[in-house]
Amino acid sequence: MKNFKNIQKGLMVKISAVCMLSVVLSSCLKDHSSDTPAPPVALLTVTQASPDQPGLDFSINGTRINAYVLNFGSNIDYFRAYTGKRTFTFSKSGTTTTVISDTATLKQNVAYSLFLVNKAATPQLLLLTDTISQPTTGNAGLRFVNLSPDAPAVDLAVKDGSVLVTNKGFKGFSTFQPIAGKTYSFEIRKAGTTTVLASLNNVNISSGFVYSIYLRGLAAATDATKLTADLIINAHPY
């Protein structure tokens, strides 16, 4: 595996099987055995967090990446994508109807997280650079991202414990920060209060791993688009 500038040695990101399916990707994080230099690549993970969208496809420069329909809450693990100016497009699955399309410049050996956010009437893309460091002994790394378009600013806290992240509004996010490896119940609360908006119960946080918790959904909803907390594994030791 190549050394990515924002992923420390000793860690391996969670790699998607779709890296074997798309021509926009180079090898699936394997070094080329031929004498031909491998093209420069970045790593990208994609999450569909727009609550009222239909099933979607995701493409880069016109090439579909997802193997399965992307529904609300779906995630594509990290895959290799060519660097430079790239066009990201979400479209209604199986059609050419574009939901949103925008460009971004991917840098060589840098890892990114791309989120489709906001309601279907006003979709937006949120691209984060994932600076991932190897946790110290006994610890994991944890980041929080608020992807709910109508929730108030929120805190991330341990149930009956400390507040880990404070006052993050829509599209707000924390850095990856250390947390002891053990089982937790997390609460996402209205900022500065004990009012719980969503929770993750009995989550095993393993030492040496790196995670993201994100809030998605609508505060006003009671159906499948209601506020929900999800956990993603960004990297693990090898």
Q: What is the mean pLDDT of residues 47-68?
A: 97
Point out the least confidently predicted range of 22-36, 67-81, 91-105, 182-196. Answer: 22-36
Task: Write down the pLDDT at residue 165.
Answer: 98
Reduced to 3 states (helix: H, G, I; strand: E, B; else coil), residue 23 is coil
Quickly state the pLDDT bin for 11 (edges 50, 70, 90): low
Task: Write down the pLDDT at residue 10.
Answer: 56
**Residues 6 or more apart from 220 whose CB is under 8 A from it?**
150
| Distance of alpha carbon 166 from alpha carbon 175, whole angstroms | 12
- What length is written for the chain? 238
Is there a contact between 189 and 195 (Cβ–Cβ < 8 Å)? yes
What domains sit in the chain, N to C, each tagged with a CATH number? 1-132 (2.60.40), 134-238 (2.60.40)
Element (H, E) at 143: strand 139-146
Task: Write down the pLDDT at residue 21.
Answer: 32
65-110 tens-digit pLDDT: 999 999 999 999 999 999 999 999 999 999 999 999 999 999 999 9
User: CB atoms < 10 A from the CB of 154, how many?
Assistant: 30
Q: Which of 89, 77, 88 is nearest to 18 (CA)?
A: 77
pTM for the whole thing?
0.87
Quickly state the pLDDT bin for 18 (edges 50, 70, 90): very low
pLDDT at 59 over 90: yes
137-176 tens-digit pLDDT: 999 999 999 999 999 999 999 999 999 999 999 999 999 9
End-to-end CA distance of the chain, in Å?
11
Reduced to 3 states (helix: H, G, I; strand: E, B; else coil), residue 163 is strand
Task: Write down the pLDDT at residue 118.
Answer: 98
Strands 111-117 and 41-48: parallel
Quickly state the pLDDT bin for 17 (edges 50, 70, 90): very low
